[in-house]
Amino acid sequence: MKNNELSKKNIKKNLENEFIARKIYYFSEIDSTNKYAAKLAKNGEKEGTLVIAEKQNQGKGRKNRLWHSPAGTGLWFSLILKPNIKVTESHFLTINASLAVYKALKNLGLNIDIKWPNDILYKNKKLCGILSEMSANTKKLNYAITGIGLNVNQKHFENDIKDKATSIYKIKKQEVSRLALLQNILVNFENYYKKFLNGEKDKLLDEWKSKIALLGKFINVKSDGKVYEGKAIDIAKDGRLMLLNKNNEIIKFWAGDASIKY
């Protein structure tokens, strides 16, 4: 099992990335890898640095939710990114991450969907959540932390999430190597990120859109305490979901909880 366990040395082994995960901080337990990565980034840590933990006791989810991160079963990690981009382009960091995870999961033969804006689902249950957090001034991004939580070998979930969450183990009925999966995601991430830095944003957006289940469907979007209904017609270049309502108005959302009606 040793060769297969998550450790700095094993993660680096045969990983030919240029900058993603060239430097690694590994913890057996931490509050939140996003939180730690933000501290490092603020103190000048370089781009691409990976912070990973076996267990988080304050894993951060979206909307201040707690992200369940038990020991030894999932992948809980964050990447420090310092691209020279405008704040309005920062959603691409999440897009790159979801494409990287999507590709790695497809590689395992899983039939998954990307849920706008940042989840990966299997049959409507959450397999992976992504949380990008930024520090920016009015125009420019100082740094971003892209955090990925992927349920890999959990056999059970706690009561409060057991109807909403799933793991690769639950789908495939067998354990998979977290190490191999992580390395695959890190390689994919660097490839997508390089495309982004090369200006191939339209291509990335098209690839991402082609994997989003709710496009073309009638949906509900919960946003700012209200529920909006309509057809999900597109995702704009800035990452906003475009909803056509019954009055023929187009409403755009930066984020929200979307669910398919039919």
10 near ligand BTN, judged by CB under 6 A: no
Q: Enumerate residues 185-244 that contact ligand BTN by CB under 6 A.
A: none
Asked if residues 147 and 31 have their Cβ atoms less than 8 Å apart, the reply is: no
Which SS3 state, helix, strand or coil, does residue 138 take? coil
Q: Under the criterion CB under 6 A, does residue 65 sit at the interface with ligand BTN?
A: yes
Please tell me the distance from the alpha carbon of residue 93 to that of residue 40, in angstroms, as a whole number.
18
Tell me the DSSP string of 176-238: --HHHHHHHHHHHHHHHHHHHHTT-HHHHHHHHHTTBTTTTSEEEEEETTEEEEEEEEEE-TT
Q: Work out which of 131, 165, 182, 235 binds ligand BTN, going by CB under 6 A.
A: 131
Q: Is residue 62 part of the contact set for ligand BTN (CB under 6 A)?
A: yes
Q: Does 157 bind ligand BTN (CB under 6 A)?
A: no
Q: C-beta of 74: minimal distance to ligand BTN in Å?
A: 8
68 counts as binding ligand BTN under rule CB under 6 A: no
Query: Per rule CB under 6 A, is residue 119 in the interface with ligand BTN?
Result: yes
* Shortest distance (Å) from residue 203 CB to ligand BTN: 25
Cβ contacts of 22 within 8 Å, gap of 6 or more? 48, 49
- The reply to whether 91 sits near ligand BTN by the rule CB under 6 A is no
Burial 91-120 (b: 16+ CB within 10 A, else e): bbbbbbbbbbbbbbbeeeebebbbbbbbbb
By CB under 6 A, which span of 55-63, 87-95, 136-144, 192-200 interacts with ligand BTN?
55-63
| First-to-final CA distance of the chain | 45
Which lies closer to ligand BTN via its Cβ, residue 95 or residue 130? 130
What minimum distance in Å lies between the beta carbon of 148 and ligand BTN?
6
Nearer to ligand BTN, 53 or 230 (CB): 53
Give the count of alpha carbons within 13 A of 237, CB side only: 5
Distance CA 151, CA 192 (A): 22
Contacting residue, 48, 117, 147, 239, with ligand BTN by CB under 6 A: 147
Which is nearer to ligand BTN, 150 or 243 (by Cβ)? 150
- Among 39-47, 53-61, 81-89, 221-229, which window interacts with ligand BTN (CB under 6 A)? 53-61
Nearest residue (CB) to ligand BTN, 182 versus 230:
182
Sign of CA dihedral 188, 190, 192, 195: negative
Angle at 116 between CA 75 and CA 56, to 5 degrees: 25
**By CB under 6 A, is residue 164 in contact with ligand BTN?**
no
For ligand BTN, the binding residues (CB under 6 A) are 32-34, 56, 59-62, 65, 67, 69, 76-78, 119, 129-131, 147-149
